[in-house]
Amino acid sequence: MKTISSYFCMTLAMLLTFSCNQVPEKSPYQTGTIEIEDAKSKRIDAFHQAYLDGNFDSQIDLFTEDAVIHINADDVSAQDMISGFGAGSEFYENIQYKDWTTATMHLDDGKVYTNLWYIWSATSKATGVTLNNPVHTWMRWEGDKIAEAAFIFNPTEYIANMTK
């Protein structure tokens, strides 16, 4: 009886060990992994914190020389994006991000993207209106530099509240 009991316990232990170490199979619709708090996500968080701190120009080295930045339907250079977004403090104060989430996707084909979702919030100096505008940003990496990025948001209220 002791031999059967020992055999049963050893078999159960082996089954539990092997079943715990198995990685679930990916579905045909799944690719890559997502990380948070990784080096690239932290660099993007620092990039956006520099914007919030009014020190956005310090971040130009994060981009390749020929990086393309899509701002809704317009394509601009990284320098033009930094200058344009930085100029927003002329029209708005108390600029902040609410519900800020950053994650980096490593796709199976080798592409790497960092994504951000946040609510851009600020008060218009001209009208006193406080805006809360949802924004989605993605950045495609080539090595340790950003080669392409997009900022997707509705600019209607932003533009309307720039002047009285």
Q: How many domains does the chain have?
A: 1
Residue 11 confidence (pLDDT): 60
Residue 164 confidence (pLDDT): 74
Residue 11 lies in a domain: no
Residue 3 confidence (pLDDT): 60
Residue 84 lies in a domain: yes
Range of the domain at 60: 32-160
Residue 23 lies in a domain: no
Residue 141 lies in a domain: yes
Residue 49 lies in a domain: yes
Residue 56 confidence (pLDDT): 87
Torsion of CA 156, 50, 44, 134, to 10 degrees: -20
State pLDDT tens for residues 138-162: 999 999 999 999 999 999 999 999 9
Residue 26 confidence (pLDDT): 76
Residue 2 confidence (pLDDT): 56
Residue 100 confidence (pLDDT): 93
Residue 23 confidence (pLDDT): 64
Identify the CATH number of the domain in which residue 50 sits: 3.10.450.50
Residue 31 confidence (pLDDT): 84
Residue 77 lies in a domain: yes
Residue 149 lies in a domain: yes
Low-confidence residues of the chain: pLDDT under 70: 1-23
Residue 16 lies in a domain: no
